[in-house]
Amino acid sequence: MWLFNKFAGRLMRRGEMTITYANGQTRTYGTPDPAINPVAIRFTDKSAPNFIARNPHLHAAEAYIDGRLLIEQGDIRDVINLIRANGRWEDGASKLRGTFANHAMNLIRSTGSSLNWERQSKRNVAHHYDLNDRLYDLFLDTDRQYSCAYFSGPDVGLEQAQADKKAHIAAKLHLKPGQRVLDIGCGWGGMALYLNRVADVDVLGITLSEEQLKVARRRAQEAGVADRVTFELIDYRAVTGVYDRIVSVGMFEHVGPPHYATFFARCRELLADDGVMLLHTIGRMGVPGRTDAFTLKYIFPGGYNPALSEIITASEKSRMIAADIETLRLHYAKTLDIWYDRTVAAHDALVELYDERFFRLWTFYLAGARAAFVHGNLCNYQIQYIRRRDTLPITRDYMAAAEAGLPR
């Protein structure tokens, strides 16, 4: 327990955490902070504290998932928020550090699992996106937008914010009727169907998830547009043809740094000479980093959130011009808060679908991701690319005008 006491005493400064150990001893760490909800946790076995201290990035999650760490005041979102608030990215280096061995293993996993060759990419996608179809209905909006929403005001709900996100992206694509659009990483088809509906364009959506493909094709049939909005199970490296517009939302996180140059080279080949591309991706503020061990092991194997410098460096090699860059700083935090609340509200349904352990895993994932956008270095980037510098108007006014006129 001494190792954990040292670790917790050094970490906890803002906010108050009360811990009850398996031997009945209770200790309180930190100081009350009106901006941070106090929490109380209890360990169910004597080895759990030092197990966490040896590798906090992974073992804290596993102790919670396995029921070795119980929360008696607050919930897992409160616990993670308190911990991450004590190591905010803006304030300098995080106090939440693992051992040297943990960092080395993270680096190996982050580099090795980012080698997303075509066969491995499909397996990685299936690990997360081919889960039971009902799971995503429990917490996503009705259009199943599984990416950062766009909140135009403090009282905007999730359905509106996701609709506004699609309009925000459509405006940046500068669409014209009859154009061909490629949607790389089309999810369940919501973006492709929206672009067809509001801009009268033909769309090919590609995915590596068989479950997403089935839903997307069914939705196109039900909407009566299957002849204009098509979906294929295909890797971006195998796509052929020329497209007036390319959009990719929430897919670049699965490409992996070793393949960035290939991704942009392929996009340039697929994009018409006067074409426009919009890339929407989770990214990291500051310098390149690594994916945390919990996310790699349990949530997104092969996933990596790039620094802006990594994206731009790779796209420069293909002479892709970054015509516009927008950083969405807190929009995903708000999105994840709603997803978390909906997941908690659907506890019984989720447990029936899987089990209590999966519920704890999923809420840890959502709460941890939310904290990374509030206190950590994560954000979202929307980068508009063109091949020719004269493709778009030379001021940004056209975006706002188009967005205001788009139906939701």
Give the pair of three-digit tokens for residue 160.
């509106």
Going by DSSP bridges, is the β-strand pair 180-184/26-31 parallel, antiparallel, or unpaired? unpaired
pLDDT digits (tens, 9 = 90+) for 153-209: 999 999 999 999 999 999 999 999 999 999 999 999 999 999 999 999 999 999 999
Q: Output the pLDDT for position 100.
A: 36
**Which SS3 state, helix, strand or coil, does residue 278 take?**
strand
Q: Output the pLDDT for position 11.
A: 83
Nearest to 408 by CA among 152, 79, 205: 152
pLDDT digits (tens, 9 = 90+) for 322-343: 999 999 999 999 999 999 999 9
Q: Output the pLDDT for position 130.
A: 56
Q: Output the pLDDT for position 96.
A: 54
User: What stretches in the chain show pLDDT beneath 70?
Assistant: 1-3, 93-131
Class of 110-405 in CATH? alpha beta
Contacts 24+ apart (CB under 8 A), 96-104: 96/11, 96/56, 96/57, 97/56, 98/54, 98/55, 98/56, 98/57, 98/58, 99/54, 99/55, 102/54, 102/55, 102/57, 102/58, 102/293
Nearest to 380 by CA among 103, 174, 169, 110: 169
Helix (H) or strand (E) holding 69: strand 69-73
Cα 95 from Cα 6, distance rounded (Å): 12
Cα 180 from Cα 169, distance rounded (Å): 16
Cα 43 from Cα 357, distance rounded (Å): 16
Q: How many CB atoms lie within 10 A of CB 284?
A: 22
For residue 236, the one-letter residue type is Y
Dihedral angle over CA of 208, 205, 336, 156, nearest 10: -170
Residue 198, by phi and psi: left (phi above 0), alpha (psi -120 to 50) or beta? alpha
Three-class HEC string of 27-49:
EEEEECECCECCEEEEECCCCHH
What CA–CA distances, in Å, run from 353 to 67, 135, 212, 345, 348?
19, 8, 19, 14, 9
Instruction: Let me know how long the chain is.
Output: 408
* DSSP structure class, residue 365: H
Place of tokens 């398996």: 22
Cα 243 from Cα 204, distance rounded (Å): 9
In sequence order, the β-bridge partners of residue 27 are 19
Per domain, the residue ranges of the chain are: 2-98, 110-405
**Which SS3 state, helix, strand or coil, does residue 228 take?**
coil
Place of tokens 């590798």: 55
What phi and psi, each to the nearest 5 degrees, are found at residue 45? Answer: -140, 155
Q: Output the pLDDT for position 107.
A: 40
Given a contact cutoff of 8 angstroms between Cβ atoms, the answer to whether 102 and 293 are in contact is yes
Given a contact cutoff of 8 angstroms between Cβ atoms, the answer to whether 161 and 150 are in contact is yes
Alpha-helical segments (H) within 86-232 = 100-112, 118-129, 133-137, 158-173, 190-199, 210-223
